Each structure stands twice: as C-alpha cells, then as structure tokens.
Amino acid sequence: MADDVNEVADEEEIESSEALIAVHWREEEYYDPPAALAAVANASDPAIRDQFTEDKFPDCFTAYADLLTWYKRWDTVLDTSNAPFWKWFVGGELNASYNCVDRHMETHPNKAALIWLPEPESEAHQAITYRELYVRVNEFAAVLKGLGLKAGDRITFHMPMVPELPVAMLAAARLGIIHSQVFAGFSGTAAGHRIADSGSTVLVTMDGYYRSGDLLDHKVKADEAVEAAAREGQRVDKVLVFRRYPGQYSAGTPMVDGRDVFVDDLLAEHKGEIVEPAALKATDPLFLMYTSGTTGRPKGCQHSIGGYMAYVAGTSKYYQDIHPDDTYWCMADIGWITGHSYIVYGPLALGTTSVIYEGTPNYPDAGRPWRIAQQLGVNIFHTSPTAIRMLRKVGPDEPAKYNYHFKTMTTVGEPIEPEVWRWYYTTVGKHEAAITDTWWQTETGGFLGSTLPGIDKMKPGSCGPAALGIYPVILDEDANEVPAGSGKAGNICIRAPWPGVFQTIWGQPERFVSTYYAKYNKDPESKDWHDWPYFAGDGALQAADGYFRILGRVDDVINVAGHRLGTKELESAALTVEEVAEAAAVPVVDDVRGRVVEMYVSLKPGVEGSADVENKVRIAIETDIGKIARPKNIWIVPDMPKTRSGKIMRRVIAATSNFTDTGDITTLANPEVVEKIREQVQSAKRAKGEVPRELSETEAHEIKTFGSES
C-alpha cells in the first residue's frame, strides 16, 4: 500500500517535471558493421575502449594529441585550476596550419589536399595538392601579415564554399590570428554583429558564388556588414575581396576606395613568400564560431589550438575512419562547426583528400551528389538528415544509377528518423557502408556520441554510445541520475572535460559558466572537474544497451535544417518593425527541414494588420539573420497568450501551429485568446493545405515543452 502511494507521488513528480518524461519508445533493430570495414578500420578491436576508461582519464587523450606534430610537448595534460575554464596540454606548443599543411607537404606533396567542385557542371573541378595548398596558405598569410595582423587579433570571414576559405583559415592559423567564419547564407547584418562582437578590423569575403544555378552578388553583404559593425562602434579598415573568377568582378556593388581590395591583386605582391608557422601555445585560441542561444546576442564559441586539433584529429581517425588514401566528402558548409572540424581541420590533419562542393546538393538534379561521388571516387560521405530527407524526396532511386562505394557515412546536426536512416543505409550506402550518427555541438568541437564504424552495431535513430573518453550522464531537474533503460528522458550532460570542448564564450565568460556549467554545479569554488558536469541543452534518453537517443533542444533554440536559430534573435528582428508590439517565434515540424519557424506578432494599438506588415517582418528577419531564418508563416494575432506575470507562452502557440494539444491553459492571464488564435491560424493553414501529419512522440514532446526554459 505504502509503495503504491509512493509510486503515485513519484508519477506526479514526473508529470510536473518538463524535462523528465515517461515514455514508451519503440526500440529499433540493430545493423551489424560491414565485415569488410570491420577488418581494416582504424578502430577494429573493441579493446580500444579499455584505453579510454575513466581511470585512464585524462591521460587517455594523449593518444589523440600524439596524432599531431608538436614544437614542444605539453607538461600537463589537463589543468583544472580555473574550473570550468579547462586547459588542455598546458605547456605544449604547436601550429594548426603546420599540422594540416606543411607536414604533409614534406611526405606527400603531390597528393590532393582539397578537391573543389564548382556548382556549374560545365566548370571543371580543381584538385589542390598539398604543395599547392602550402604555397597558397603562405601567400595569403603574407597578405595578412602585410596588413599588420598578428597573433591574438581577430579576423572575420564571410566566405562561401570555395577553397579560398580553408586557405584563409589556415593562413590565419599560421600566424595565430583568431578567425571567425560566418556562414555565407547569413545576412550582411548578421556578419556585422559578429564582426563587432569579435572586434575584427578586417573582413574577408568574395564577390559572388553559385547557389542553385545563380551567381549571387555576395559583396553587397560586405557593405551591409561594415555598416552594421560601425553602428556597434566597430570599424572595419579593410575588406579583402576574393574573386570567383580571378581578374573579373562578378558583383554589381562597387568597391569602396581605400577600404576594399581584391585579394588576387594583393597576392600578386606576395608571390612565393613563405611565412614560418608560429609556435603557439596549445591553450591559445584557434577560432571563434558563433552560435545561437537563449538571448539575442550570439555566442562566439572559442576553441583552442591544442585540445581542439587533437580532438578533431582523433575523432576523424576513429569515427570517420579516415586513412590517408581516402577521398572524403562532407557536404556540410565550412561556415558551421561541422565544416571546421570535419572538412578542414580533422581531415587535413590526417593528410587525406577533402572534397569541397560549392552549391546545393540537388543542383541541377537529385543525382548530383552521387555523380560527384562516382566521378571522384568518394568513399567517405558525410551529411545532414535534412539533406538526406531532401534527396530522398526528390530522387529516391538516383543513388542506384551511379557506381560509387562508400565505406562509412555520417549524419549530423539533427535527430534522424529511423525510416530516413534506413533509406540512407539501404539506398545511399547500398547496404555496404557503416553509418555513424554523430551527436555533438558547436561548443563541443567534435563528436560526443557515435558508434565506432568498424566495431559497433548501429541502431536507427540512436547516435550510439558515448565517444571514446566521453562520460555522459542523464540528469533530471533535481540532478538525480536517470538510469539507462528506464525509458525516461532528461538532460544529457558530460561529466568530465574533453580536449575539444570550447574554452569560453568570447567576451562573455559569465554566460559561459551560467549557460553550460551552473545548472548542475555543486560548488562554484571547486577545482575538481567532478563537480562541473557540462550541460549540453539537449534532452536525451539512454536505452538499456547504453545507446543514447537525442530528442532535441531543451532551450529556446529552433533547429532548422541543422541550423540553430535562437527565438530571441528572430523575435528581436521582428520587433525592429515599427508596427510590431510583441513577437514570438515557434518551431513547426517539417518533413524535409526538420523544423521551420513560424512567427506570431501582435501590433501596436491602432495599427491594422496587413500583408505589408507581414512583409516587413519577413524582410526584417532576412536582413538581420538571413534567408535560412525566413518564417514559413507570419501570423498577426490580436494578442499573445500570456502568464499572469506577462510571459508569452510559446508552447501554447507552438501547439497551435502544430495542431497539437495546447495543454493546460487555465493559468493564463488571457485564456480566451488561445481559442481565437487557434481558429485564425488553423483555418488559414487548412486552407493552405498545411495540416501536418500526426507528430511522433519526440516531436510532440518538444512542442509541448517549447519555451519552458524562458
């Protein structure tokens, strides 16, 4: 009897806790790693896990650091004295550019480091050997040096997917200049905010690039970026403009006298110059990568040279199974962390051939990726669930028409539905490739959860066990451990630091601690890492077999096609429109892009809703953030559902947009508005044929709890 009472009490507690849900997940079937791969993979012996058990922490990670060439070996593997600002390989000195370029130039100079495919199929691909890469990196480093840039300075790149981008990154890294690459699809204004936040005085861009058949004017964004930065008090002295076609200007926007310079002109002045790589501290920053969070201000995640390079080299070796003679193609954009870690730094540190593709995957048709794979002999393929869903939708039978063979394939950035996973495995991988579903984040530098492709069984929809040397735990809101196999979800945390973890948020160390470590920290004075679990901001559950299933963000971040968009950023963009009084952004489940954004706005008294206001909101979002953030719908509503303290209940409008149950609304200050909004939005969506299918359990959970953090 007493037990029964306790059980009821427990259940009530579970009900009331947003992050902890009692769920009845369907377990998926296992797939064996391909036998051919198991025999030759870099990690082929399960005993590799014994080298990374907790009793061997942190020294286990020297195996990763030993993949690099060091000028000076470290004295201390992990210094925790300024917790949670972990320092890896303290006392060590190295150079990322040397590790990705020079050392391979010495051993295999004529091997392709990069193969670039322009989007137009009429343009030939370009293979850039390690020797050529060496020359180009040195010359561009000479350009940067000539501008007076030095170690510790920041430089912003707003570059498309062209080889000039890794060249520029490696040139900056050579000198210790901290680079911040902003995704080219982001607007000029978004680039401007990031220039200002990082304090960059030089912007590197390109006149134009191809996207879905159009040669876009990209230079125009540089002008907007410089202006936006100036509004925040940051002056940009120089804008370096690469030309998509050297010697010919592809943009319509004029060059600004004294400020804008063509890079090909500058390079001509530094032809053949060599810039020795600087011996930099392992703990010096390599780059900043901006990402969204719960406030409007993006977070510049600062990554170190030594720890980051060691981690991406190690995980590229064991999880991507990169061997020097592979042809590796990651379709992500270098403007995201995936491209930094697994197009540029990881693969090049291992001296392999990394493919870069300029355009959209389905241009001119859905066979393009498979044609590229066949043409170049790509044997490792890496992409996102959104790209897989899209290619499946537009060309489900295309892969069979091409003669390529992948040994491993990666998926990253969002949860992948088991059904989509199976198409990837069967049709794209032709039953012969291992899939690694890699769970990680901008902040984490590299993979945290994944199967080892030559060893572990795969399970669709689960990323697999923790990566080597990573010790996750799922905690409930009261910091109790949620046991594996309990069928319950909670907040996934990582108990111990790892070399790839970011060092801080640029210029916001308090936010670094409060966002990622404060939640489960027991003693802010503690210098023992055991007291500082890393809070990833994702909901997850662990099956009895130890495999993790990632459910998605628990904060106010909307993951659109693998791109993190903060609700506050979207809302502040909408609020720049004069007529708008209040704005709320919510996710809507989408069969291709995972989630898309819907915006709700209410207008100032006396202002009438119109297509014109709607359009202004759309333009404001595209201008401030970029086209990727364009809302699917903008709903002008009479009022927002609010709590008595005036907080907008995003979960209620999210439920409206997704046709799910709005849950308990009795605590609202204005419950009557919920019905009005539902009527307005859902009838409009019905008329447009936008009634969604029934949501899966994980999707429904996300919508139900959306915005509960704020």
Q: How many Cβ atoms are within 10 Å of 480's Cβ, its own excluded?
A: 11
Residue 566 engages ligand WTA in binding (rule: CB under 6 A): no
Q: Which of residues 672-691 bind ligand WTA (CB under 6 A)?
A: none
| Segment interacting with ligand WTA (CB under 6 A) among 551-559, 608-616, 639-647, 679-687 | 551-559
Residue 439 engages ligand WTA in binding (rule: CB under 6 A): yes
The residue whose two tokens read 């990726």 is 369
The residue whose two tokens read 């809101």 is 477
CB of 314 to ligand WTA, least distance (A): 17
Instruction: Dig out the tokens for 692 from the structure.
Output: 């969604």
Pairing status of strand 202-206 against strand 154-157:
parallel
Alpha helices in 35-187 (DSSP H): 35-40, 62-65, 96-97, 103-107, 130-146, 164-175
Residue 410 engages ligand WTA in binding (rule: CB under 6 A): no
Which residues, 6 or more positions from 442, have their beta carbon under 8 angstroms from its beta carbon? 289, 291, 301, 336, 337, 502, 564
The secondary structure of residue 565, as a DSSP letter, is E
Residue 656 engages ligand WTA in binding (rule: CB under 6 A): no
Q: Which of residues 40-99 bind ligand WTA (CB under 6 A)?
A: none
The answer to whether 362 and 121 have CB atoms below 8 angstroms apart is no
Element (H, E) at 418: helix 418-423
Instruction: Dig out the tokens for 543 from the structure.
Output: 């099956």
Rounded to 10°, the helix 650-658/697-705 angle is 140
> How far out from the chain centre does Cα 390 lie?
19
CB of 568 to ligand WTA, least distance (A): 16
Nearer to ligand WTA, 437 or 624 (CB): 437
Candidate residues 290, 357, 424, 440; the one interacting with ligand WTA per rule CB under 6 A: 440
Nearer to ligand WTA, 207 or 414 (CB): 414
Nearer to ligand WTA, 193 or 553 (CB): 553
Residue 535 engages ligand WTA in binding (rule: CB under 6 A): no
The secondary structure of residue 684, as a DSSP letter, is H
Residue 337 engages ligand WTA in binding (rule: CB under 6 A): yes
CB of 304 to ligand WTA, least distance (A): 17
Residue 438 engages ligand WTA in binding (rule: CB under 6 A): yes
| Segment interacting with ligand WTA (CB under 6 A) among 124-132, 407-415, 465-473, 668-676 | 407-415
Candidate residues 153, 260, 538, 555; the one interacting with ligand WTA per rule CB under 6 A: 538
DSSP secondary structure string, 189-214? HHHHHHHHHHT-SEEEEESEEEETTE
Candidate residues 198, 291, 503, 658; the one interacting with ligand WTA per rule CB under 6 A: 291
Which residues, 6 or more positions from 500, have their beta carbon under 8 angstroms from its beta carbon? 303, 307, 308, 310, 311, 312, 315, 341, 444, 445, 446
| Segment interacting with ligand WTA (CB under 6 A) among 401-409, 503-511, 547-555, 701-709 | 547-555
Candidate residues 335, 361, 552, 631; the one interacting with ligand WTA per rule CB under 6 A: 552
The residue whose two tokens read 């012969």 is 432
Residue 553 engages ligand WTA in binding (rule: CB under 6 A): yes
Candidate residues 353, 441, 658, 698; the one interacting with ligand WTA per rule CB under 6 A: 441
| Segment interacting with ligand WTA (CB under 6 A) among 318-326, 545-553, 618-626, 628-636 | 545-553
Nearer to ligand WTA, 135 or 161 (CB): 161
CB of 440 to ligand WTA, least distance (A): 5
Candidate residues 550, 584, 585, 653; the one interacting with ligand WTA per rule CB under 6 A: 550
Q: Which of residues 304-333 bind ligand WTA (CB under 6 A)?
A: none
Residue 567 engages ligand WTA in binding (rule: CB under 6 A): no
Candidate residues 463, 468, 596, 599; the one interacting with ligand WTA per rule CB under 6 A: 463
Q: Site for ligand WTA (CB under 6 A): how many residues?
A: 22
The answer to whether 320 and 408 have CB atoms below 8 angstroms apart is yes
Nearer to ligand WTA, 446 or 469 (CB): 446
Cis before 364 (ω within 30):
yes
The answer to whether 77 and 59 have CB atoms below 8 angstroms apart is yes
| Segment interacting with ligand WTA (CB under 6 A) among 87-95, 436-444, 592-600, 637-645 | 436-444
- For 495-570, list the strands marked E by DSSP: 504-505, 534-542, 548-553, 557-560, 563-566
CB of 298 to ligand WTA, least distance (A): 12
Residue 338 engages ligand WTA in binding (rule: CB under 6 A): yes
Nearer to ligand WTA, 201 or 338 (CB): 338
DSSP secondary structure string, 356-367? EE-S-TTSS-TT
Residue 415 engages ligand WTA in binding (rule: CB under 6 A): yes
Residue 442 engages ligand WTA in binding (rule: CB under 6 A): yes
Nearer to ligand WTA, 260 or 555 (CB): 555
The answer to whether 14 and 488 have CB atoms below 8 angstroms apart is yes
| Segment interacting with ligand WTA (CB under 6 A) among 60-68, 71-79, 270-278, 411-419 | 411-419
CB of 633 to ligand WTA, least distance (A): 24
Residue 412 engages ligand WTA in binding (rule: CB under 6 A): yes
CB of 441 to ligand WTA, least distance (A): 4
The CA–CA distances, whole Å, from 603 to 85, 311, 577, 579 equal: 44, 49, 10, 6
Could you tell me which of 519, 485, 511 has the C-alpha nearest to residue 566?
511
Nearer to ligand WTA, 256 or 543 (CB): 543
> How far out from the chain centre does Cα 42 lie?
26
Nearer to ligand WTA, 98 or 342 (CB): 342
Could you tell me which of 93, 237, 101 has the C-alpha nearest to residue 168?
101
The answer to whether 554 and 705 have CB atoms below 8 angstroms apart is yes
Q: Which residues contact ligand WTA (rule: CB under 6 A)? A: 291, 336-338, 412-415, 437-442, 463, 537-538, 550, 552-553, 559, 564
